[in-house]
Amino acid sequence: MNIISTDFKFFIEFDINPFILFSSEGKVIYLNESAELLLMEPYIDKKLFSLALTHAPQSYGYKKTLIELSFGSFEFYAMNILYDNEDEIAMHLYSKPTTKVNSMVNLEGYSYTDMNLLLEANIELFKIQYTGELLLFTDYDLPRFQLHQNNFSFLLRTLFAQFIGSKIINITLKIKIGEMIVVNKKKYPIILLKVESNQRNTISDLEIKEITAKHFINVQMTDNIVLFEIPAIS
């Protein structure tokens, strides 16, 4: 057998399937990028730890289980529970390889848009009133795609206003790896926009949900995070 010196953490970190390492008390020790999105759901860490204990092998090793799981917009068809000591237990969830299908979309008012430029323009407007620290993590190689610029800018202004009282805001923009969306019978990538802080004002949640629904944007919300899944229609 060949001896491999590769650090496999890199490959786990960017796996499209969520990977979570728990302590024996249920504390999350490590989670990869995919699991970060999953753990936005409230109390999901406790639910997953309970599942890990229920489906763990009786002795050291691993146990794969076919199981239908659904958490918000996340759906899984199997899990693998692994441990080789009494202090840690790992869970690997396997995402369903299915695409989302939306009804026909009317693209009237849409135009090809550089999402980074549109986002940064609205951030600069927000900074006129915002006195805290704002950190932007983005993929500048995102493709241009069709978006209703006026409506989306209004959506961003409404969203950012929820975080006006926060000391630090983290904004992340990137492509969702491993999943496509079907719009008007064609497959397109999904763009993830996440805004996160220690708090947010939820009074405009209903308005945000109404706007996103009109533009086929999936939205997930917690006490301190808002996540948009935006179809990159070309």
Tens digit of pLDDT per residue, the chain (234 long)?
456 667 788 888 888 899 999 999 999 999 998 888 788 767 889 999 999 999 999 999 999 999 988 887 678 889 999 999 999 999 999 987 655 555 667 788 999 999 999 999 999 999 999 999 999 999 988 999 999 999 999 999 999 999 999 999 999 999 887 677 887 778 888 999 999 998 899 999 999 999 998 888 888 888 888 999 999 998
Our count of domains for the chain comes to 2
Within a domain: 134: yes
* Contact yes or no for 47/70 (Cβ under 8 A): no
Within a domain: 101: no
- Examine the domain organization and report whether 128 and 179 are in the same domain: yes
Residue 34: the pLDDT is 84
Within a domain: 44: yes
- Examine the domain organization and report whether 144 and 226 are in the same domain: yes
Cα 209–Cα 210–Cα 215 angle in degrees, nearest 5 = 95
pTM of the model: 0.72
- Examine the domain organization and report whether 153 and 47 are in the same domain: no
Q: Is 184 left (phi over 0), alpha (psi -120 to 50) or beta?
A: left
Within a domain: 176: yes
- Examine the domain organization and report whether 49 and 146 are in the same domain: no
Residue 158: the pLDDT is 97
Q: What is the CATH number of the domain that holds 152?
A: 3.30.565.10
- Examine the domain organization and report whether 30 and 64 are in the same domain: yes
Residue 121: the pLDDT is 97
- Examine the domain organization and report whether 139 and 40 are in the same domain: no
What are the percentages of helix, strand and coil residues in the chain, rounded to 5? 25, 40, 35
- Examine the domain organization and report whether 135 and 208 are in the same domain: yes
- Of 147, 131, 164, nearest in space to 212 by CA: 147
Please state, in angstroms and rounded to a whole number, the distance separating the CA atoms of residues 160 and 95: 31
Tokens of 77: 């068809």
Q: Which of 95, 124, 142 is the last residue of a domain?
A: 95
| Boundaries of domain holding 76 | 9-95
What's the distance, Cα to Cα, between the start and end of the chain in Å? 48
- Examine the domain organization and report whether 128 and 219 are in the same domain: yes
Within a domain: 84: yes
Within a domain: 41: yes
Residue 78: the pLDDT is 92
- Examine the domain organization and report whether 126 and 79 are in the same domain: no
- Of 138, 37, 61, 51, nearest in space to 91 by CA: 51
Q: What is the CATH number of the domain that holds 75?
A: 3.30.450.20
Residue 212: the pLDDT is 92
* Contact yes or no for 91/22 (Cβ under 8 A): yes
Within a domain: 195: yes
- Examine the domain organization and report whether 79 and 154 are in the same domain: no
- Examine the domain organization and report whether 211 and 178 are in the same domain: yes
- Examine the domain organization and report whether 162 and 223 are in the same domain: yes
Count of all residues that appear for the chain in the document? 234
Within a domain: 192: yes
Tokens of 78: 């199997």
Torsion sign over Cα 71, 14, 176, 178? negative
Residue 13: the pLDDT is 86
